[in-house]
Amino acid sequence: MLRKTYDWMLRIAGRPSAPYVMGAVSFAESSFFPIPPDVMLVPMALARPDRAWFYAALCTVTSVAGGLVGYAIGALLYDSVGKWLFQLYGLEAGAEAFRAAYNQYGAWIILLKGFTPIPYKLVTITSGFAGYDLLAFTVLSIITRGARFAVLAALLGRYGGPIKLLLDRHLGAVTAILAVFIIGGFAAIKFLY
């Protein structure tokens, strides 16, 4: 099934609708969706290395836009939607501690967590919940999300052939390693709370 999904992603990369789908995933991931856009960005950039930087820019713009929705959820809807999302990820008990940390470390929290596999939606919602400055949040989101996707574009642009060969030969192992990083991100957030 994993191989079929990967091959489907490579095929869809050439379709005119592919960037729209990836943009929608990137937007949704920053506010409520659990799957990161990397699952589309990587195969699409491998299939079309000439467009890797465009895909990275698109992910950045849509991720920041989705982050603003996450911020709004935290600022306006925390008592309903925000709490539900925190409960879904098992993090409700630590929300107040995370909110207090924003008073001292808000910029670093946004920069570091926006670049890691820790779910960015938790940062966006908590930023709104904590009342973090919206302009600063937006600028920091552009920096951190832009850097994350730019690193991927640079790696895929420079080493796309060997990366594709590695994925073609060892897709299961690479996926398992990525899953460990993502699960590690969730575990780290739970530990920090």
Is the CB of residue 81 less than 8 Å from the CB of residue 45?
Answer: no
Q: Is the pTM of this model over 0.85?
A: no
- pLDDT-derived band at 97 (thresholds 50, 70, 90) equals confident
Within-domain flag for 177: yes
Q: What is the DSSP letter of 48?
A: -
pLDDT tens-digit series, residues 131-151: 899 999 999 999 999 999 999
Q: Is residue 122 part of a domain?
A: yes
Give Rg (Cα) of the chain. Answer: 17
Q: Is residue 72 part of a domain?
A: yes
For residue 35, report the phi and psi dihedrals to the nearest 5 degrees: -95, 125
| One-letter amino acid of 15 | R
Report how many domains make up the chain: 1
Query: 88: exposed, middle or buried (C-beta count within 10 Å: 0-12, 13-18, 19+)?
Result: exposed
